Every structure is written in C-alpha cells, then in structure tokens.
Amino acid sequence: MAQRTAVFGSPSGLHSRPAATFARAAAASKHTVTLAAGDTSVDARSILALLQLGVKTGDEVALEVDGPEADRVADELRALLERDLDAA
C-alpha cells in the first residue's frame, strides 16, 4: 500500500470535470484508490463520492493506493491531483 498527500491544484475545486478525470484515472489503474479530505475518505473511482469531499483549491488531500504497482500509481495520481484538471 502506498500513501501520498497532495495539494489540490484545480482553480475551481473538485467539481464534476476534475472529479470525472481523476475517477477515470483511478479506475484505469486497476488498483484500489482512496482519497480523503479531513475526516472523510471515499473510493476515488466514484465521481459522486469524490464530489462529496468538497475539496477546494489548495486543500490538502490524502491518497491511498493498494495494488501491485501502488508506489508508481500513487505518484502518478498525486501529480494528477496537483495539476489544473479543468485544463485536462
């Protein structure tokens, strides 16, 4: 299992477009991916679950990845979270 923290980079927060982009990447990884903000942790493969987190620009989030290539996937997903996902 790999754990990372990231500062969310999209200027409009985690709304539907960035949530969809991140959920697709998490699902495509074929790993179990969890994203947490504050005391709430959700399955990052679910757009609706991600929207429930209410993440804003600059918020710190915790990423947890479980699977055979967890470290590589965690690094890739962290980099994605820190980008402007509205531009993706």
Exactly one of 15, 17, 72, 83 is catalytic; name it.
Answer: 15
Q: Beta strand pairing status for 60-66 and 32-37? A: antiparallel
Structure tokens given for 64: 């947890």
Amino acid present at 11: P
15 part of the active site: yes
The answer for residues whose C-beta is within 8 angstroms of residue 58's C-beta and 6 or more apart is 7, 8
Give the residue numbers marked as catalytic.
15
